Amino acid sequence: MMPEFLLIPNTAPGMGGGHLARLEALKASLSDRAEILVSKSGSTEALLSKDMASGAQTSLEKGIALFDYRETPAKLLDISAEHRYTIGIDEGGKSRERFHYLVDISMALITPGKANISVSPYPQNMVTRKHAPAFPPRKILLSFGSEDRAGLTRRLLGTLLKTGLARETKITVCEGPRYHESHGQDLPWPDKVTVVRSPASLQDLLLDHDLVFTHFGLTAFEAVSAGTAVILFNPSNYHRLLSCRAGFPEIGVDKPRIKRLKTYFETQGLLSGFLSRVRREMEERKGDSLQAIMSKMEPSGLACCPVCGHLAGKAVERFPDRTYFKCPKCSIYYMLSFFGSRQEYTREYFFGEYSKQYGRTYLEDFQHIKAAGMDRVREILKAANQSVKHASGTEDKNNLLSLLDIGCAYGPFLQAAKEAGMLPEGMDISNDAVAWVKKELGINAFFGDFGSSVPGTVLEGKKYDVITMWYVIEHFKDVRAVLERVNRLLRKGGIFAFSTPSSSGISRRRNLRLFFKASPADHFSIWSKASAKRCLSMAGFKVCRIRVTGHHPERFFGSIRRVNHGDRGKAIKPGTLVFRVLGLVSRIFGLGDTFEAYAIKKWDI
């Protein structure tokens, strides 16, 4: 089911109406899938807490809280993150690094850290005027947002009339819906001024005027999209800085700069030149709108650390389709995916995708994987304090180790365990693989997803001496639930062994962003040697052996050079002295890109 959206604009005094207007447009496109949360009386915090409490057991449990707040208070984010994925629009506050997903719309935004995606600030559904605006302007519109708390409209109007710049010009003043909340009783406007109060849409007004005065915000971008000239008069230095970064013509803060104002009115081509340049940029930046992106969004993964449940993870890398966080409690890196794509491990994967990646099908690679499995079996037997002689098998089957391999695929490790004298069983999400293991290897196997509720039925009442997961644990969204299930299925003193990509290997150390970019989209947790010890301890295990694998000397320099210099970069060739030395360095310092962990169950949880 697609998620539900709770849209939360900043409607505090002085924040104008742009935040609300943007979310109202988004609400219209999402229809009944979205609701706008506006506090008419009392605090947004209290209203949000009430909403979360009432909706925690309904569709809100896995919904989205979208903030258009400029600087979202940490308390509001904390309340939302307990029940929802959080999205920040043009977020510039200290909470920015904790949002699950960030969309930057204003190209002039001053923020620390990249957003997941940037969207053009220019509305794509605006009607564009057929003819260029007149110069000198014959019709001028003054529109300073919902409330014009700084009183810019009257100040600028007085300047235009006093200097005579608007002597031959028709002036229209737009009073926003909250104008009189900020300015008290009605004050008369000059006779020659037309007043429009709370228009439902500015589009017709923008098309009907040659020049718009406004401050930095939504109206400025709407005016340019309509093809109307615009000059900004700002309420603060912050707004002016944003105006300059975006390249808008502007006439200062609070008090209009008359000399600059006259220059714009008297110099042919200044305003039209700006308009032409921005229109070209609009064409270059065309892409999905905010509405289109949100309509396709389908978050996947826990909105907290999947191992310890901690909520306050900080984003370390962002991409258009996902965000990576680091948990401050257990040090695990974890990923949230936002557009529902994941690898399906069906027969087509093992005989198609696998072949494209490794040059052979999974079954053609069976013996190679089995050989690696024999090494793992020996490590398991060492951990279990079993002798090699006993591992080779005895006639007394009651002394053999029972083993469950989760994500067994077509069973090369199961075969290795069987030949070593164990009593193996497998579980996999591929029906075809399970059937092949049972028929061709004569080993019992179950169809099911160990990360779901299925194991509670097919594994009911079972206990094992060993449970293994070879490059499987990173695929689970809720690792804590998986580790609890492993603990329940293992006898005390039993062995839990797994392999996984390493965040302490050379690839991550060499380039963090490239490492995460190359990480498969269905790897929801990325472990290190240190975090494995910490997390397994929390789940009732004690790590007795970490075996670093996946040593790639060529990745010390070659892969990074290829990224930076294209075909000019040359990888380190196998067999050379440099290759051998770097391989030795990788082994001594544990810089392999994967590792295996072997742990003993110490207590029940």
The pLDDT value recorded for residue 386 is 47
How much is the pTM? 0.85
Compute the average pLDDT of residues 245-264: 93
Mean pLDDT of 136-161: 92
How confident is the model at residue 60, as a pLDDT?
35
**Mean pLDDT, all residues of the chain:** 86
Show the tokens assigned to 25: 């447009």
- Residue-level pLDDT at 570: 60
The model's confidence at residue 125, banded by pLDDT at 50, 70 and 90, is: confident
* Tokens linked to 284: 């270059």
Residue 14's pLDDT is: 72
Mean pLDDT across the stretch 439-465? Answer: 86
Mean pLDDT across 198-208: 89
For the ranges 133-147, 383-397, 440-454, which has the lowest average pLDDT? 383-397
Tell me what the mean pLDDT of segment 420-441 comes to.
96
pLDDT value at residue 357: 82
Residues 6+ apart with CB under 8 A from 154: 187
Q: What is the dotted CATH code of the domain comprising 347-550+592-601?
A: 3.40.50.150
How buried is 192 (Cβ within 10 angstroms: 0-12 exposed, 13-18 middle, 19+ buried)?
exposed
**Which residue would you say has higher pLDDT here, 311 or 472?**
472
Comparing CA positions, the residue from 222, 258, 257, 263 lying closest to residue 240 is 257
Q: Please report the pLDDT score of residue 395 as a whole number.
A: 41
| Percent residues over pLDDT 70 in the chain | 87
Residue extents of the structural domains in the chain:
5-118, 139-284, 347-550+592-601
Q: How confident is the model at residue 61 (pLDDT cuts 50, 70, 90)?
A: very low
CA gap 47, 61 in Å, rounded: 17
Beta bridge partners of 335: 324
For position 578, what pLDDT does the model report?
A: 87
Q: Is it the case that residue 391 has pLDDT exceeding 50?
A: no
Retrieve residue 54's tokens: 């009432």
Which pLDDT value is given to residue 122? 79
Query: In sequence order, which ranges of 56-116 are alpha helices (DSSP H)?
Result: 74-81
> Per-residue pLDDT for 167 more than 90?
no
Quote the pLDDT of residue 20. Answer: 86
Give the residue with greater pLDDT, 58 vs 591: 591
pLDDT band (50, 70, 90) for residue 62: low
5-118 and 347-550+592-601, same CATH topology: yes
pLDDT-based confidence at residue 128 (cuts at 50, 70, 90): confident
Q: pLDDT for 270-290, tens place per residue?
A: 898 888 888 787 777 667 788
pLDDT tops 90 at residue 423: yes
How far is the C-alpha of 24 from the C-alpha of 161, rounded, in Å?
36
Which helix H or strand E contains 85, and what residues bound it? strand 85-89
Measured CA distances, 78 to 86, 170, 483 (Å):
10, 50, 26
Which of the listed ranges 180-184, 229-233, 349-353 does the model predict with the highest average pLDDT? Answer: 229-233
**Is the model's pLDDT at 546 over the cut of 90?**
yes
**pLDDT for residue 129:** 87
Determine the pLDDT at residue 147: 86
What average pLDDT does this structure show over 580-586? 92
> How does DSSP classify residue 298?
B
Strand runs (DSSP E) across 506-581, as ranges? 525-526, 541-549
- Distances in Å between the Cα of 531 and the Cα atoms of 403, 526, 541, 546, 591 are 25, 9, 13, 12, 15
Q: Which pair of tokens denotes residue 265? A: 């009115």
**pLDDT of 57 over the 60 cut:** no
Residue 567: what pLDDT? 44
Q: Name the band, by pLDDT with cuts 50, 70 and 90, for residue 569.
A: very low
Judge whether 353 and 343 are in contact, CB under 8 Å.
Answer: yes
Q: What is the pLDDT, as a whole number, of residue 573?
A: 79
The confidence score (pLDDT) of residue 421 equals: 94
In the chain, pLDDT over 90 holds for what percent of residues?
53
On whether the 139-284 domain is CATH 3.40.50.2000, my answer is yes
Task: Band the pLDDT of 184: cuts 50, 70, 90.
Answer: low
| The CATH number of domain 5-118, selected from 3.30.70, 3.30.450, 3.90.380, 3.40.50 | 3.40.50
The pLDDT score that the predictor gives to residue 392 is: 37
Q: What mean pLDDT comes out for the span 420-449? A: 95
pLDDT (mean) for 481-495 = 95
Higher pLDDT, 47 or 420: 420
What is the mean pLDDT of the segment spanning 295-309? Answer: 90
Backbone angles phi, psi at 424, to 5 degrees: -90, 150
pLDDT at residue 507, as a whole number = 92
For position 436, what pLDDT does the model report? 96
Mean pLDDT for 508-517 is: 93
